[in-house]
């Protein structure tokens, strides 16, 4: 669930699932690969508060850096 967290969490929020329901769904779908409870709840809170990017999450920063490097290589 790591890579698509924002979209998956936003989907659950728009589907009127609670943070805990989002966590349970992630655990059911991804098993041991799912984010832990505190991260899912943090992502859910950020989506609920209208944030598009999760700027404090290491994986998000890493993905942004990877995309930036990929753009530089293409140019």
Helices (H), 1-75: 5-14, 19-30, 37-48, 58-74
Number of domains the chain is built from: 1
State residue 37's pLDDT score. Answer: 87
The mean of the pLDDT values for the chain is 76
pLDDT at 58 over 60: no
| Residue 56 binned pLDDT confidence (cut-offs 50, 70, 90) | low
- The larger pLDDT score, comparing residue 30 to residue 6, is at 30
Reply yes or no on whether the pLDDT at 70 is more than 70.
yes
Quote the percentage of the chain above a pLDDT of 90: 1
Contact between residue 9 and residue 43 where contact means Cβ atoms under 8 Å apart: yes
The encoded tokens of residue 24 equal 């349970």
**39: domain range?**
5-74
pTM value is 0.58
């Amino acid at each position: 669930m790591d890579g698509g967290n924002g979209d998956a969490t936003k989907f659950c929020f728009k589907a009127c699932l609670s943070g805990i329901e989002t966590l349970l769904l992630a655990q059911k779908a991804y098993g041991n690969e799912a984010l832990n409870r505190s991260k899912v709840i943090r992502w859910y809170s950020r989506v609920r508060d209208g944030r598009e990017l999760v700027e404090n999450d290491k994986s998000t920063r890493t993905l942004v850096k990877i995309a930036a490097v990929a753009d530089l290589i293409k140019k």
